[in-house]
């Protein structure tokens, strides 16, 4: 089991052909107070880097991209009533969706924690 990060600031923890994903703490902090997570529908299938769903904060609306290709098996219903979880615990409690991965080898296009931290440091 390992966690990977995208340049679009999503994280995904991969366990075999299963993945659980969300947005990074850095993304949540950049968005400001999150007021709504437009959760994807279960069963929706997406390709890597395609729009999975959207998130709204008090100052912006942004798309969330699928870090890996797959289909949605479950969504975090807690976010429907408590979108603030994204600000409080972006990389733990505020997971957005679980995916059945269609091509786990795509992780080669993602970053590990150290590479992502360097990437974010470069943005500041």
Binding site for another protein (CB under 8 A): 35-36, 38, 41, 54, 56-57, 60-61, 63
Nearer to another protein, 50 or 117 (CB): 50
Minimal distance, residue 76 CB to another protein, in Å: 17
> b/e for 30-64, b at 16 or more Cβ within 10 A?
bbeebeebebbeeebebebbeebbebbbeeeebeb
At a CB cut-off of 8 Å and minimum separation 6, what does 121 contact?
none
Q: Check: CB of residue 94 under 8 Å from CB of residue 88.
A: yes
Nearer to another protein, 7 or 44 (CB): 44
Nearer to another protein, 2 or 80 (CB): 80
Minimal distance, residue 36 CB to another protein, in Å: 7
Of 102, 105, 85, 103, nearest to 94 (Cα)? 85
Minimal distance, residue 56 CB to another protein, in Å: 4
Q: What angle do CA 27, 47, 124 make, to 5 degrees?
A: 20
Nearer to another protein, 35 or 120 (CB): 35
Minimal distance, residue 49 CB to another protein, in Å: 17
């Amino acid at each position: 089991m390992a966690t990977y990060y995208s340049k679009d600031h999503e994280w995904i923890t991969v366990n075999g052909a299963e993945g659980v994903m969300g947005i990074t703490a850095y993304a949540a902090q950049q968005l400001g107070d999150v007021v709504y997570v437009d959760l994807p529908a279960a069963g929706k299938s997406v390709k890597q880097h395609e729009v999975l769903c959207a998130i709204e904060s008090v100052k912006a609306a942004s798309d969330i991209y699928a870090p890996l290709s797959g289909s949605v098996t479950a969504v975090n219903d807690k976010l429907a009533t408590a979108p603030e979880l994204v600000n409080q615990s972006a990389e733990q409690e505020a997971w957005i969706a679980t995916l059945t991965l269609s091509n786990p080898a795509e992780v080669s296009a993602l970053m590990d924690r150290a590479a992502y931290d360097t990437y974010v440091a470069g943005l500041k």
